[in-house]
Structure 1
Amino acid sequence: MTTVDDAAAEPAAVVEGAAEPAPRRRSGGRARFLATLIAVLLLLFGVPWWTLVGGPARWPTTAVVVGTIAFVAALAALPLLMVRGHGPRRSDAAAVAGDTLLGVVWVLFAWSILGNVAGLGLLVAGVPDPTRSRLVAAVVTLVALVLLGWGYAEAMRVPRVRRVDVWLERLGAGLDGTTVVLLTDTHYGPIDRARWSARVVEVVNGLDADLVCHTGDIADGTPQERHAQSEPLGSVRARLGRAYVTGNHEYFSQAQGWLDRMRELGWTELHNRHIVVERGGSRLVVAGVDDRTAAGSGVPGHGSDHAAALAGADPDLPVLLLAHQPRQIPGAVSHGVDLQLSGHTHGGQIWPFHFLVRTDQPVLQGLSRHGARTQLYTSRGTGFWGPPFRVFAPSEITLLTLRSGQP
């Protein structure tokens, strides 16, 4: 017999282990921010411009002028499109254009740097300019076009299923073989992916899981704006339950509204609370905490609170915790959690952004151990954020099989 019981009430307050509210910007902070933004934009566009257009390749004057105009226009357009697309008066069309441009220039920037490094090898080999620089420009352009085409197809496809066995010493024999499907970072957004969402649900239902979890960043936009894209989630089937926690992006677009929306779709929103599921006489605590940014968001009653999430739980039972960011793992370790499920990193999404993600998060993707008891599984994400590209970071629908004991 299978039961799902509410085991803790919503907490009235916050915030153990949460992010601190953002401090007020000091005098001169805006100027420093603008200076940094301008420097980053000049670098992002300047390196590809020099590599492809204006450097020692010495292209014909007409080609240099046309290429320079294109780069300057793109440089001017990017901040305007991003503000228009993601600002208070959000425009989906502007967001799509700005996000796509950002992805294109990032790929060009990264591979321009690599191309110039390779050019040093050609220099050592005695290949003179402009032949050397023109060869570098041609290869960088070709590689970028291939990666952008492939990356777009990877971003828009229905994710592959990634199967992982996780051994939990405290898991009862009755729950051995329990299957958990993890969705995360669906990022329903300015590109209408309602059909994609429905196909993802078809794959999930085909896995016939005991438990289905969504660890946040469900959308970029309000529940009303992304109503059609989120609607298929109401058709997800799971024998023991469907559970959801907020990610950081919910706090840009009505976090409480998304909790209400998921409850409307029949999901259990684990807003710093837990449920208990049972199978074969064994029980498992399934808990969830708000994203670590929730406390600084200004949304009343929100903030990561492990103590509240586990209040009243039997300490002898194993705990499966949903927490959006891998950075929330210290709280899981200190509270004796057996397995934390997270997303947020997207596996880097567009290489070599992987390396920047690792400066902020303890894990990029996959299963890892933290402390004596706690394991962490970090998904590369089901959807994508912003630029509609995934380069060397494929999306995934994760099927975790929980095993009792040790491998």
Structure 2
Amino acid sequence: MTIVSVLLVLFAVPWWTLVMSGTQWPASVVALGTAVFVVTLVALPVTLVLSHGRRHLDWAGVIGDSILGIVWVLFAWSVIGTAARLVLGFVGVEDPVRSRWVATAVVVVTVVLLIWGNREAMRIPRIAHVDVTLPRLGRGLDGIRIVAVTDTHFGPVDRTKWSLGVAAAVNELRPDIVAHVGDIADGPVAQRRGQAAPLATMDAELAKVYVTGNHEYLGDAQGWLDHMDSIGWKTLHNAHIVVERGGDRLVVAGVDDATAKSAEPSGHGADFAAALAGVDPGLPVLMLAHQPKQVFESAAAGVDLQIAGHTHGGQIWPFNFLVRLDQPAVHGLSRHGARTQLYTSRGSGFWGPPFRIFAPSEITVITLRSA
């Protein structure tokens, strides 16, 4: 009932704004517009089930994900359009002129944003630079650079060329550590191996590390862990490594996604104690954990910096406000407790709708500084 209610609201608001309200369109326009909304309302759940269910039909995913993105943008700007109608009415603009102006403006803005948002989603991510001071970091490690890629979400849209571009961009940065912070793909390794193949070409001076995201647990988590191991990445399945430079050491740890414990396969689940077992308590700790809300466990464990993804920065405005209800951060650097800092990436790819609107993708260069 919740899903049905949400769908009805998502479609009803733009239908009312564009077709009904006070537009007084001819009967043929009303009939055609209503038919379009009804057909897409039925097509959305059908195509999403065919795509994200067991069948993994990519053609259905392209259709369903695109409809979802389009209707979300239409919904958001229809709400804004409703407010504009009230303002126009207050200044004396009468219907049907007032409502037709609003309907036209909503369509134009939506089309422009979707075209721009698709280009933003499909482009090679921008490079985001951030310096993070860790008081416990030794001078020998001052300036060490972690390049973080996350939320690649290889899926129904074949992005092999994009993946090659991301790998090339990472290698041009000459990182000390490369980290993939989860959500590699939507689908099993067998289906997404080609798009993920360029990950094998990424290189780093000290380490390449990977942790699972929530989407791995919708399909083939252990398969992706095994695959990343096979192409030269160190999978931090509630584990850690220690890197050293200039006589100083840094603990690089990782935990499973927050959803792992309640998903398949068994034996998964974020375990901070296991990830940090045997760690020298005097060493600084960099933690990879997919969801920002895992920072509370990071803080309790004495972690110095957690890198997370998951939020996509909201991906399509104004969804970022809904994300903030579930997560302590949507994007950027934040502090949690006396010691622990959190960097939340907007992610490098996109999930579902092939659009990014006011939430640009990123490859993040995190430079650690000693006190």
What range describes the TM-score normalised by the shorter chain of this pair?
Answer: over 0.9
Query: SS of the counterpart of 1:251?
Result: helix
User: How many residues were matched structurally?
Assistant: 371
The 1-side partners of 2:120 and 2:84 are apart by 27
1:251 Cα offset (Å): 0.4
Q: Superposed, which structure 2 residues align to 1:302-341 within 5 Å? A: 302-341=268-307
The 2-side partners of 1:403 and 1:247 are apart by 27
Runs of 4+ in 1 over 6 A off after TM superposition: none
Partners of 1:181 and 1:399 within 8 A in 2: yes
1:338 Cα offset (Å): 0.3
Q: Which residue of structure 1 aligns with residue 62 of structure 2? A: 96
Matched, 1:380 2:346: yes
Matched, 1:178 2:144: yes
Matched, 1:370 2:330: no
Q: Which residue of structure 1 aligns with residue 310 of structure 2? A: 344
Q: Superposed, which structure 2 residues align to 1:55-204 within 5 Å? A: 55-204=21-170
The 2-side partners of 1:298 and 1:189 are apart by 20
Query: SS of the counterpart of 1:231?
Result: helix
Query: SS of the counterpart of 2:109?
Result: helix
**Correspondence for 1:289 among 250, 255, 275:** 255
The 2-side partners of 1:230 and 1:75 are apart by 33
Q: Superposed, which structure 2 residues align to 1:239-278 within 5 Å? A: 239-278=205-244
The 1-side partners of 2:222 and 2:65 are apart by 26
One-letter amino acid of the counterpart of residue 95, structure 2: D
The 1-side partners of 2:4 and 2:236 are apart by 41
Q: Which residue of structure 2 aligns with residue 16 of structure 1? A: none
The 2-side partners of 1:113 and 1:333 are apart by 39
Identity in percent: 62
Matched, 1:49 2:23: no
One-letter amino acid of the counterpart of residue 200, structure 2: G
1:133 Cα offset (Å): 0.2
Deviations 1:62-118 (A, max 9, x none): 111111111111111111111111111120000110000000000000000000101
1:40 Cα offset (Å): 1.3
Query: SS of the counterpart of 2:306?
Result: strand
The 2-side partners of 1:298 and 1:207 are apart by 36
The 1-side partners of 2:4 and 2:198 are apart by 41
Q: Which residue of structure 1 aligns with residue 267 of structure 2? A: 301
1:316 Cα offset (Å): 0.4
Deviations 1:225-281 (A, max 9, x none): 001111101111100000000000000111000000000110000000000000010
Alignment TM-score, normalising by the size of structure 1? 0.91
Query: SS of the counterpart of 2:191?
Result: coil
Q: Which residue of structure 2 aligns with residue 400 of structure 1? A: 366
The 2-side partners of 1:40 and 1:324 are apart by 27
Query: SS of the counterpart of 1:364?
Result: coil
Partners of 1:54 and 1:68 within 8 A in 2: no
The 1-side partners of 2:331 and 2:347 are apart by 9
1:298 Cα offset (Å): 3.2
Range moving further from structure 2, 395-404 or 292-301: 292-301
1:186 Cα offset (Å): 0.3
Alignment TM-score, normalising by the size of structure 2? 0.99
1:38 Cα offset (Å): 1.9
One-letter amino acid of the counterpart of residue 297, structure 1: A
Query: SS of the counterpart of 1:225?
Result: helix
Partners of 1:100 and 1:387 within 8 A in 2: yes
Partners of 1:333 and 1:370 within 8 A in 2: yes
1:143 Cα offset (Å): 0.5
The 2-side partners of 1:46 and 1:206 are apart by 48
1:41 Cα offset (Å): 1.3
Where relative contact order (Cα < 8 A, 6+ residues apart) is larger, the structure is 1
Partners of 1:178 and 1:402 within 8 A in 2: yes
The 2-side partners of 1:331 and 1:37 are apart by 31
One-letter amino acid of the counterpart of residue 208, structure 1: R
Structure 1 residue ranges without an equivalent (≥5) = 1-34
The 2-side partners of 1:91 and 1:54 are apart by 35
One-letter amino acid of the counterpart of residue 104, structure 2: A
Query: SS of the counterpart of 1:216?
Result: coil
Structure 2 residue ranges without an equivalent (≥5) = none
The 2-side partners of 1:120 and 1:372 are apart by 48
